[in-house]
Amino acid sequence: MKNGVKSLIAGAFITLSTFGLSYAAATLKFIWFSHILYWQGWWLQTFIPCLNVGAVESSACEGTPLNLAVFLLGLPFGMILYSLLAYGVISCWSRRAV
């Protein structure tokens, strides 16, 4: 199997695994661990402004459907990022084996 295909499979596996583990951690109220596991989805949401629905003393942010869309855009972003990382690792590893 070529290195590109291996890296795409590894990138998809890593991204979907961390997404699932992040969901499980959030369900168990480990929000900080959930943010670490699926950092790309949470990071992309920081680029969307917050809608303040609370008072000045106790502000509260309300999400929009755009927040959900950008959160889910973390999946293809993570797949590309982790695939590139896996390609580098696999390439270095195969050069050492030769």
**pLDDT grade, residue 10 (50/70/90)?**
very high
| pLDDT score recorded for residue 98 | 63
Q: Token digits for 82? A: 């982790």
Helical spans, DSSP H, in the chain: 3-27, 31-37, 39-45, 65-72, 74-97
**Cβ atoms within 10 A of the Cβ of 72, count?**
13
The pTM of this model reads 0.81
Across the chain, mean pLDDT equals: 89
Taking 90 as the threshold, does the pLDDT of residue 28 lie above it?
yes
- Each residue's pLDDT tens digit, 48-85: 888 777 777 777 777 788 888 999 999 999 999 999 99
Q: Token digits for 17? A: 């695994």
